[in-house]
Amino acid sequence: MSSFDAPIYPTDDSRRVSSASQPVLRLAPAPAAPPEFAVRFWGVRGSVPSPSQATMRYGGNTACVELRVGGKRLIFDAGTGLRVLGEHLVQEQKPIEAHLFFTHTHWDRIQGFPFFVPAFMEGNCFHIYGAASLNNASIKQRLYEQMLRPNFPVPLQAMRSNLKFHDIAPGSTIAIEDVEIETVLLNRHSRALGYRVTWNRCTVVYATDADLHDPHDPTFLHFAQDADLLIFDTAFANHAYFDPCAAAETRNPDTWRACVDLAIEAKVKQMVMFHHDPTHEDDFLDQIETEVQAIYANAQLAREGMVLNLPVGDR
């Protein structure tokens, strides 16, 4: 019923007359605001949590990003940031339904899952998506094995929520009502997936742990093309944690310049650099951000708790 079709009621005034002689129009409530497209960062580190005085501003939790899109909750990766997100969700005191997408299952993407309290609560529902690993293990099998003794005291079966596992493959597309999620293979060694989420003409690309030897890689350029937001790896070497020479190389500007060049070439509207090296303290990340923004003003570095609200609809 439109506001012009709203029912007519008499006034409550003591001098009121009949509705036929002097009607009072009560308009129907204004339509609710359209559902948001919001991105929140719960964990922004790579490899291993790095809590310290030197990382307080950017945060020390490992990868976890939440999207609230079209009235749905999408979660990308389950690093230790997922535990903090879980504490937040429990406070809502209502049944929770969410879709949890794994890029791959290195420790920094799964180590928060056993500590995700909402998964232990009956009445909640979580749809869990992931591609097969190099040994063909499913996402369910890998999460299950992580929680077996002697690695962890509580098995996956103790999670009383409704866990629905979905095996997906690179190149597949998932439709959650009017939200479309496309996938691409980013790393042939880790089998890491990238995700492109589109709703109401707004697109977010989540691409991390990429193995892009060619900064002009045509597959990825097409995948990221014209995105409203690109969440992109800061491109430190995977072997940096045990090789001092490689660790020093992560402080070389060339490690992020290729990412910036790709974002500019793909014409993304804004980029957030993510998956920070655990040895990179706040002051050094400030320095990187300043240098990046001198080249590409629409870029910034991810911080725990940062929220971005994206424009939707006709633009």
Which pair of structure tokens corresponds to residue 52? 């310290």
Residue-wise DSSP of 174-191: EEETTEEEEEEEEETTTT
Which pair of structure tokens corresponds to residue 244? 């001092």
- Cα–Cα dist 270/227, whole Å: 8
Higher-confidence position of 8 and 208: 208
Residue-wise DSSP of 85-147: HHHHHHTT-S--EEEEE-S--SHHHHTTGGG-GGGGSTT-EEEEEEE--TT---HHHHHHHHT
Task: Indicate if the pLDDT at residue 31 is higher than 90.
Answer: no
pLDDT of residue 126: 98
- Cα–Cα dist 100/177, whole Å: 16
Torsion (CA) 90, 92, 97, 102 in degrees, nearest 10: -50
Q: What percent of the chain has pLDDT over 90?
A: 69
Cα torsion 167, 173, 176, 180: sign: positive
Residues 33-54: pLDDT tens digits? 545 899 999 999 999 999 999 9
